[in-house]
Amino acid sequence: MSRAEIEMLRRRAARRIPSHVVDYVAATADGVAEAEAGRWDAVELRPTALRGGAGPTLATTVLGTSVDHPLLVAPMAQQVAAHPDGEAATGRAVASSGSLLGVSTNTAIPFARIAEQGAPWWFQTYVLAERELTYVLAERAASAGASAILLTVELTALRVPAHVEPVNWPEGRARARLANLTADERARIEGRPTTAPGLDEIARLREATGLPVVVKGVLRGDDARRAVDAGAAGVLVSTHGHRRMAGSVLVPDALCEVVDAVGADAEVYVDGGIRDGRHALAALALGARAVFVGRPVWWALAAGGAEGVGALLDGLAEELRTAMAQSGVSSADEAHALRLARVPRRQAPDSR
């Protein structure tokens, strides 16, 4: 699927969905909507030749789960605003395409219904201000069939008002916990976030769920190293869709540092700005195991439901196959081993 076709999906989605929802999905920390995509455009590919062999192979594994291609779907909120079936529709498309689904902690679709679609899925969680509910919800996801936990660390802790009961909280247990909060506890939940998550959350989530934990939002090699040493099975290089902060490092630059730090010991993934097959190949060539696609999936869901998402994923996969063939490599591992891509130094802004 071409960049022009993805732009058409965005425009169709904007016509169908309320403007405040469209604005929420598009928002970034500095108002630059496609900063990450622009940086992927700048990555230089270095094609190789004279290697023979058959056509490119896209199939791979992520934490032991087989997928037909390395284009995964990022966890995103507001999917029911894009389509009434939300993650259920997205899940059907993901299953058909042979990919993997990330499920947001803010999903409005029950875990059981998402699992029924047949796609493998990972559950994304924040460390909630009422911390014990973090583990209740993660346990619930594990029981419903999630195969990994995506621990998001690139934003401050999510505040959950005491009167809110997310759809996937176990009946009774979370409700009773909230009912028993003291006035001071309620004030803490409603008034301010907790401190940022620490390394101990990795082990706590592993113990609570029995699942591998991938730390989402790592932008530095030293943080990636500490996460893996603390038990993380992988790290996801992400700026939360360029929402974390204005002026932060962009994901292609951060990816190189993280891969150098932990790529031999843990799986590394990336999201942010992936808009075509060439972007995906650049990420794989720089050392990512797989890439997560976010906003284009949301636009496709809003514009065409499950069929739209399926067409997007299959189109991106075909573009990736073509880019790999043009570059002379037969697999993502070969693309990385041959140093097929390099990231040019960013130019300093003009101070005039």
Q: What is the DSSP string of 49-81?
A: -S---SS----EEETTEEESSSEEEPP-S-HHH
Shortest CA distance to 346 belongs to which of 230, 251, 235? 251
Decide if pLDDT at 35 tops 90: no
Confidence of residue 183 (pLDDT cuts 50, 70, 90): low
Each residue's pLDDT tens digit, 156-180: 444 544 444 567 765 544 444 555 5
Each residue's pLDDT tens digit, 319-332: 999 999 999 999 99
Shortest CA distance to 241 belongs to which of 95, 19, 76? 76
The conformation of residue 242, written as its DSSP 8-state character, comes to: T
Compute the distance between CA of residue 92 and CA of residue 98 in angstroms, rounded to an integer: 10
Distance from the first to the final alpha carbon of the chain: 40
Per-residue pLDDT at 142: 97
Q: Where are the domains of the chain?
A: 3-342
Mean pLDDT of 221-238: 97
Per-residue pLDDT at 155: 66
CB 79 within 8 A of CB 300: no
State which fold the 3-342 domain adopts.
TIM Barrel (3.20.20)
Catalytic residues: 240
